[in-house]
Chains A and B, each alone.
Chain A
C-alpha cells in the first residue's frame, strides 16, 4: 500500500485497459462461465421458457438491489427491505378482502413501501441513529405487524388483472417483470451515473463531511435514498404477491441477505463510496443463474443458501487475499 505514494506512472491506464481489468468484466466472464457450465450440466437449461422462468429468481430482488446499491454507496444500509415486502403484501391482501381493485392495490403497495422507507429515513437522518440498528429494529417491527395481522393465516383472492404484474408476459417469453427490471436498471444507471444526485451519492459515501461543505444536503439525499429503497420494496412486493397469488407473513424471508449479497457481488464497496449499476445487473444474472442451475440439479434451497453465504464472504475475501499474497 505504501508503494502507491512513491510510484508515479508516466501514463495512466488507458480506458480500454481499465475497462478490461474492472470487476464488472470479471463478473461478466463468471456469468458466461456459469451459463456454459449450466448448459453442459443439465439438458433442460438451454430452453427459452426455462431461461425465462429463471429470470424470476432475481428480477424482484434486483429491483430492490439497485436502490440498495445507492444506499450502500452513500454509506448506509437497509436490512428491513424483506420485511417491507411482507408488510406491503399484507396491506394489499387486507385491501383485497375489503374489495379494493387492481389500481388501488398497486397504490397501496407503493404507498406502504414509501411509508416504511420514510420511517427508516426519518429515524436515520433526523435522529442521527445508525442505519444498521434502525433497520434491524424495523426488520422485526414491519414483519411483526404482518404477523399480528395475519398470524398463521394467509390472504388470497387477488384479482386477475393484478396477477398480471407477476405472471404476465409482454412478448413471447419476455415477462412483464423482466421488462420492469430492465427499465428500473436503466433509470437507476442514469440516476447514479449521469445526474448531480448520483454524484452527490458518491461524494457522501466517500466523505460525508466534505460533501456537506461542498453544499450537498447530506441528510436530504440519504432520506431520499431510504424513500427509494422503500418504494422499490413496494414494487417488488407487488410483483412477488402477484406472482405467488397469496400473502403469508413469512413472505420473502431472508431476502435482505440475498439483496445485500447481490449488491456486494456487483462490486459495490460495503464501506460506501464506489460501485456501479451495471455491476449489480451482472451480479443479479450470476446469482439467478447459480440458483436456477443448482435447482435444475435438484439441490435443495437451503444448500443454495450456503453458496450464497460463501459468495458474499468470498467476493470480498478473495481480492483481499490476492492483494495480501501479491504484497509478499
Chain B
C-alpha cells in the first residue's frame, strides 16, 4: 500500500514540482515566498479549471480542443453584455458565462453522442467556428478595460485570506470534482465509459450520454473561466487564450491522464496544471525568453506521454509475472 502511494504518478509529480521549486529557489529565493506562490497558483487557476474539464472528457475516450475558443467566445459575450448593461449584477454575469459555456459544450456533446462523429473532428470544427463567431459578433474590435464596469473587473481579484477569488474558485472546483469523480455514480460512469465502453454498455451505462455529460462539464468550466479570464486581464478580443487548448491537454497528459481513456484523477490534472504554471511563471524569473514556452509545453507533452506509456507497459508485465508465480 505504502509502496503504491510512493510510486504513484501523483507522488512523482509532487516530487517533480518540489524539485522544480527547489531548483528555482536556489538561485531566486523570492520565488518560493508564500505571497509569490499564491500569485503563481492564482495565475494557474484558469489552466486548473480547464484541465479538470478536459480530464473528464479524456477519461471518456474523447478530447475537447474547443475549450480555449469556448472560453474566448463566452468571455467576449459577457464583456459585451457588461458594456451594454453595466449595472447587471455579477451573479447574472456568472450565470450567463456558465450557461453559454454549457450550451457550447452540449453542442460538442450532441454531435459526439447522437451523430457519433469522432470528437477530434467535432472539436477542431467547433474551435474554428467559435473563434469565427467572436469575430462576427465583435466585428474584430476589442473590449477594453475602460469599457468594463468596475464591479465586473473586481470580482476575480477580490482577496480573501490572501488569495484572490479566482484562486478560490479553482480550489472549490478541485474539491467538488474530486467528490464527483470518486464518490458518485456519474464519476464512476466516466471511468467505465472510457476504460471499457463495451463492458460499460453491458453494465447499463449509456456511453454516448456519459460522453455528452463530460463535454457539458468541460463547456461549463470553460464558460466560467471565460468570464474570469476577461475580467482578470480586463480585455477581450478574438484571439484571447489562442492555443491554450494545447496547454490544457498538456496539463492532463503530464498529470497522468491516459489519452486512451479510463485513467485519470482530478489531483493529477491539478498537479499537471501546476507543473506547467510554475514553469510558465519561472521563465521570466530565470531570464529565459517567453518565446521558449511553446516549445517547453510541446516537449513536456511528448515526455509525459512517453513516460505514461512506459509506466502502463511495466504494470502489464508485473501482472503476468504474478500470474506465473501463482500457477
Which residues of A does B touch, CB under 8 Å?
77, 123, 127-130, 132-134, 136-145, 147-148, 151, 249, 254, 257, 260-261, 264, 270-271, 300, 302-303, 305-306, 308-310, 312-313, 316-317, 320-321
Contacts and interface: CB of A to CB of B under 8 A. Distances in A.
Given A128-B309, A317-B111, 19 more contacts: A129-B305, A133-B249, A140-B294, A141-B298, A141-B301, A148-B292, A151-B291, A257-B124, A260-B121, A260-B124, A261-B125, A270-B118, A271-B118, A305-B128, A306-B128, A306-B129, A316-B115, A316-B121, A320-B117
A321 B298 CA distance: 37
A240 to B, nearest CB: 20
A257 B245 CA distance: 14
29 contacts: A77-B120, A129-B305, A130-B259, A133-B253, A136-B246, A137-B250, A137-B253, A138-B298, A138-B302, A140-B294, A141-B294, A141-B298, A141-B299, A141-B302, A142-B298, A148-B295, A257-B124, A300-B140, A302-B131, A302-B135, A302-B140, A303-B132, A303-B136, A309-B125, A309-B126, A309-B129, A313-B121, A320-B115, A321-B115
B68 interface: no
B33 to A, nearest CB: 30
Main secondary structure of the interface of B (DSSP, over half): helix
Given A303-B135, A306-B133, A316-B121, A130 B260 contact: yes
Contacts of B131: 302, 305
Q: Which size class do B's interface residues fall under? A: 35 or more
Contacts, number: 136
Main secondary structure of the interface of A (DSSP, over half): helix
A257 B128 contact: yes
B306 interface: yes
B238 interface: yes
B259 A317 contact: no
Interface in B186-214: none
Interface of B: 63, 111, 115-118, 120-122, 124-129, 131-133, 135-136, 140, 238, 243, 246, 249-250, 253, 259-260, 289, 291-299, 301-302, 305-306, 309
A140 B260 CA distance: 21
A134 B246 contact: no
A148 B118 contact: no
A323 to B, nearest CB: 10
B289 A148 contact: yes
Contacts of B126: 309, 313
A140 B298 contact: yes
Contact of A300 (B124, B129, B135, B302): B135
